[in-house]
Structure 1
Amino acid sequence: MVSLTNDQYEMLHYYYTLLNTIEEGFDYVIESFTNLELTEGDSLFKDILSAFYHIDSSHLTLYALLEEETGMIEEMQKFDQVILTLDREAAIFTTIEQHHDFVKNQLFPAFLAWKEMVQAKLQPYIVH
């Protein structure tokens, strides 16, 4: 296991927490599809997409930090599959119902599966 400085630990912790926050955002967005009292779903979905950019842009730094942890790097690289899932929506989106179905049944499950694998690999670094 790589020895981390305090700043490196904080970065990994922030990354780990960001993944949980995105999951909570998805929960809200999906609930907003049927609960009209939740009016920030569209805005929050845009924030999720922005967070995806931040995840992706942080990976080069994390790969350098964790270069000895090839298993973790391989899991992080699978984020590309989440992005490819997102890219499919642009090709199929024609109605709001299709968008809701896509987010609920394709994008969120793809993100969640990736998140759980990455967090399992990060767990030893976060809880030390």
Structure 2
Amino acid sequence: MQTLTADQYNLLAFYYQFLNTIEEGFDYVIESFQSLHFDESRLMLIDIITAFYHIDSSNPILLAILEENNDLRKEIMKFDSVIETVERIELLVLLPHEYELFVKSELSPAFLAWKESVQIKLKDYVTH
């Protein structure tokens, strides 16, 4: 494993924790569907989508830092499929049932699968 500067380590550690925060946001959104707090869930989902674009814009920096770890780089690049999934949500905003189903069965699972695969490989960098 390559040696990281303090700034690189901090960035990777923040990124790792940021993914956990997004997962907590999804938990809140899905729970709010059951308690009929649609306005709150939509606001949180907007925050999650904004976070996705922050991840997407920071991924090139991570790819440069992790140039020696092709496996992790490949996993990070798979985030494009999460972005492709989120882009479909705009079509469902006016259809509450389909919107909820999409978030629960497609968007959240797509993100969580990607998150898990990245964090497994990123863990060695942030736990040392």
TM-score by length of 2: 0.94
Q: Which amino acid aligns with 1:125?
A: Y
Q: 2:104 maps to what in 1?
A: 104
Q: Structure 2 regions of 5+ residues with no counterpart?
A: none
**Structure 2 counterparts to residues 73-92 of structure 1, below 5 A:** 73-91=73-91
Q: 1:72 maps to what in 2?
A: 72
Q: 1:47 maps to what in 2?
A: 47
Q: 1:63 maps to what in 2?
A: 63
Q: Which amino acid aligns with 1:80?
A: D
Distance 2:91 2:85 in 1: 11
| 1:89/1:42 CA distance change after superposition, 3 Å | closer
Q: Which amino acid aligns with 1:12?
A: L
1:1-52 deviations in whole A, cap 9, x for unaligned? 1101111100000000000000000000011111136862111111001100
Residues 32, 39 of structure 1: 8 Å contact kept:
no
CA RMSD of aligned residues (A): 1.5
Instruction: Figure out how many residues of one structure are paired with residues of the other and give that number.
Output: 128
Of all paired residues, the percent bearing the same amino acid is: 52
Q: Structure 1 regions of 5+ residues with no counterpart?
A: none
TM-score by length of 1: 0.94
Distance 2:88 2:40 in 1: 24
